Amino acid sequence: MIETIFTRIIRGEIPSHKVYEDERVFAFLDIAPLSPGHTLVVPKEPAATLDGLSDESAAAVGRVLPRIARAVIAATGTPDYNILQNNGAPAHQVVPHVHFHVIPKPGDGRGLGIGWPGGRLDAEDGKRLAAAIAARLAKD
Ligand code: 5GP
């Protein structure tokens, strides 16, 4: 497991604007916010991508994400927001330590911009892919 800047932030070796901490989770303001209140929610476990995260850390993050979102809404007065979670450099992940972005969307152009080039799900492809995913899930 490589050590990233987030591990050093969690340890307090690098300063951050912390908003939340418990046994498994650390949350702080993003240093380059897309909008005011842009917050990073990070499991302390240093998994690089979400698929490598333990059930315990995943549950801990899932338990506090809605609470942190509510606090960001209250503090910014912005009710709309995106949750973003990037995995792998081609998917725009820069820091290889799992993190969830909470990004307020104030409605003035700030916040997350998304391209969404949706295709059309072919029935045969859908059947094959759903079966493959379900079969792998049955083994996990
Ligand atoms: P990613 O592209 O990996 O999903 O997002 C990484 C995020 O971490 C970026 O939004 C970036 O601004 C933020 N970030 C990187 N280094 C630091 C840092 O040292 N402190 C804080 N607070 N945020 C950081």
d(CA 110, CA 49): 27
Q: Is the pLDDT of residue 61 over 90?
A: yes
Residues 98-126 have a mean pLDDT of 97
Give the pLDDT score at 134. 98
* % of the chain beyond a pLDDT of 70: 99
Pair 64, 41: CB distance under 8 Å = yes
Mutational pocket test of ligand 1: of 10, 18, 95, the residue with most ligand atoms within 8 Å of the beta carbon: 95
Look at residue 73 in the predicted model and tell me its pLDDT: 98
97 classed as catalytic: no
**In a 3-state reduction of DSSP, which class is residue 8?**
helix
Mean pLDDT of 113-137: 98
Return the SS3 of 117.
coil
* Domains by residue range for the chain, with CATH: 5-114 (3.30.428.10)
Mean pLDDT of the chain: 97
Q: Is 1 a residue whose pLDDT tops 70?
A: no
**What are the pLDDT digits (tens) for 3-40?**
899 999 999 999 999 999 999 999 999 999 999 999 99
**Does the CB atom of residue 88 touch ligand 1 within 6 A?**
no
- Residue 5: what pLDDT? 98
Confidence of residue 111 (pLDDT cuts 50, 70, 90): very high
pLDDT at residue 44, rounded to an integer? 98
